């Protein structure tokens, strides 16, 4: 089943295949392998068959290893002074409309002052239905031509949202997009290690039951996700073990969907049930999401966990808000309009600011940990 996603480069008749590039929807198998190939058989069909067998062996091995493998890990070192500056935006790709361009230009100004290391996108990258394929020009119209400020030409570590799954979900993960705009980085679930913090990016869309049980007229691209339960348990198991092994001072989990929220979508019950207990047991510091088109901060009442929503990248002002004062978790801040969130992280401190589209800081939060604490 994974063989369907393989692209063979330079394998035309009569030309020595210099390398085989594979691309699989499985979260643990992504990259480029260099495969030394033998003498070219004379019959073109034989070339094809041989390549196909080699690929299947390689991919088969990867899939088998992938069965027990950890989430794929990437490194992004902190600045020389040991700090990190990050901007977080979500729910944005609307070809500049609904204030997307205004948010982008304020991101550029704030990003310049902060000397950003990278940007996090919490998903729903392209509206209304993701990308149609690797060559969809919405990629330029909603991304490259919108986030033009020099300060934003950093890597954008992204996850997929539910709207992205309504298009060609694999297109956003394709290396071809990276060729079209080098700052783009998107996978389903992965770990980003910096020296001081570890970010665990989680593919949350497949957790929500209603996309499967009651999709209405929406069609979701579940390639690489089915069988669903195996996919979900693998993510949770890999996340739990990666969190357990992490020595990072700050542990931050990023997903598209809310866990707790006072916005129109409210809590995502499936994540409250299955993801939240892992985050609490593993001393995760923050869960960052989009999905509700607002800016929001909720403090857990029975753990150090903080919930941050940064989903104000374009269309907002939904007008629906509900949160009971009897909740054990505390609503610290809710803004129904557009904007974004910034983070500054050092060994001992993390500082969060929420910005609106004209650069006002609407809410601030910070926390510190002593130099020697291990959690
Ligand atoms: C754009 O932002 C301004 C300022 O916050 C707001 O008044 C206006 O309603 C927004 N427009 C849209 C379409 O959201
Ligand atoms: C959102 O607000 C509108 C207008 O007040 C209301 O009709 C609708 O039922 C609300 N939706 C939810 C899910 O709360």
| Pocket of ligand 1, beta carbon within 6 A | 98-99, 316-317, 337-338, 357
Residues 61 and 47: their CA atoms lie apart, in Å, by 21
Q: What are the extents of the domains in the chain?
A: 2-69, 75-374
CATH number of 75-374: 3.60.21.10
163: DSSP letter: T
Give the distance, in angstroms, between the CA of residue 54 and the centroid of all CA atoms in the same chain: 31
pLDDT class for 70, splitting at 50, 70, 90?
A: confident
Q: Is 140 left (phi over 0), alpha (psi -120 to 50) or beta?
A: alpha
Higher-pLDDT residue of 271, 6: 271
Which one of the ligands is nearest to 262 CA? 2
Determine the number of helices (DSSP H) and then strands (DSSP E) in the chain.
8, 17
Q: To the nearest whole number, what is the mean pLDDT of the chain? A: 86
**Is 256 known to sit in a ligand binding site?**
yes
14 CB near ligand 2 (under 6 Å) = no
> Is 155 within 8 Å of 119 (Cβ atoms)?
yes
Q: What percent of the chain has pLDDT over 90?
A: 79
CA-to-CA dists, residue 217 to 132, 212, 256, 264, angstroms: 17, 12, 22, 21
- Looking at residue 5, its pLDDT comes to 31
354 token code pair: 């929420």
Place of tokens 């589209």: 357
Q: How many angstroms separate the alpha carbon of residue 366 from the centre of ligand 1?
A: 28
pLDDT digit string, tens, across residues 93-127: 999 999 999 999 999 999 999 999 999 999 999 99
- Ligand-binding site membership of 43 (annotated): no
Asked which of 241-250, 333-342, 362-371 is least confident by mean pLDDT, the reply is 362-371
Q: Which residue has the higher pLDDT, 22 or 364?
A: 364
Torsion angle, CA of 243/184/100/133, rounded to 10 degrees? -110
pLDDT range class, residue 200, cuts 50, 70, 90: very high
C-alpha–C-alpha distance, residues 69 and 96, integer Å? 40
For the cut 80, the answer to whether the pLDDT of residue 46 exceeds it is no
Give the number of the ligand closest to the Cα of residue 264: 2
Would the annotation count 162 as a binding residue?
yes
Is residue 135 annotated as a catalytic residue, yes or no?
A: no
Distance from Cα 99 to the centre of ligand 1, integer Å: 6
* Best of 91, 96, 98, 99 for a ligand 1 pocket test (most atoms within 8 Å of beta carbon): 99
Q: Ligand 2 test: best mutation among 291, 316, 320, most atoms within 8 Å of CB?
A: 320
Would the pLDDT of 60 be above 80?
no
- Confidence tier at 307 by pLDDT (50, 70, 90): very high
């Amino acid at each position: 089943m994974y063989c369907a996603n393989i692209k063979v480069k330079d394998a035309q008749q009569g030309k020595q295949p210099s390398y085989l590039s594979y691309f699989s929807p499985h979260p643990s198998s992504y990259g480029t392998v260099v495969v030394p190939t033998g003498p070219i058989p004379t019959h073109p069909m034989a070339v094809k068959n041989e390549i196909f067998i080699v690929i299947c062996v390689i991919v088969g091995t990867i899939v088998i290893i992938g069965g027990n493998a950890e989430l794929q890990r990437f490194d992004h070192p902190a600045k020389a002074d040991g700090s990190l500056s990050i901007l977080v935006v979500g729910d944005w790709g609307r070809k500049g409309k609904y204030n997307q361009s205004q948010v982008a230009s304020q991101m550029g100004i704030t990003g310049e002052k902060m000397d950003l290391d990278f940007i996090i996108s919490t998903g729903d990258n392209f509206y209304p239905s993701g990308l149609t394929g690797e060559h969809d020009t919405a990629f330029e119209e909603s991304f490259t031509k919108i986030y033009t400020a020099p300060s934003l030409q950093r890597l954008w570590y992204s996850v997929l949202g539910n709207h992205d799954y309504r298009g060609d979900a694999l297109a956003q993960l394709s290396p071809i997009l990276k060729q079209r705009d080098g700052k783009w980085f998107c996978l389903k679930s992965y770990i980003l290690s910096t020296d001081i913090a570890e970010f665990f990016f989680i593919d949350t869309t497949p957790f929500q039951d209603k996309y499967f049980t009651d999709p209405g007229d929406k069609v979701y691209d579940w390639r690489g996700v089915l069988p669903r339960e195996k996919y979900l348990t693998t993510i949770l198991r890999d996340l739990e073990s990666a969190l357990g092994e992490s020595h990072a001072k700050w542990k931050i989990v990023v997903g598209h969907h809310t866990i707790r929220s006072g916005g129109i979508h409210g809590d995502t019950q499936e994540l409250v049930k299955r993801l939240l207990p892992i985050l609490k047991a593993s001393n995760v510091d923050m869960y960052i999401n989009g999905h509700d088109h607002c800016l929001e901060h909720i403090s857990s009442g029975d753990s150090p966990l903080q919930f941050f929503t940064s989903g104000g990248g374009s269309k907002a002002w939904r007008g629906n808000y509900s949160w009971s004062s009897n909740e054990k978790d505390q609503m610290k801040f809710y803004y129904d309009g557009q904007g974004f969130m910034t983070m500054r992280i050092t060994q001992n401190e993390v500082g969060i600011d929420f910005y609106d589209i004209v650069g006002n800081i609407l809410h601030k939060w910070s926390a510190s940990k002593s130099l020697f604490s291990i959690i």
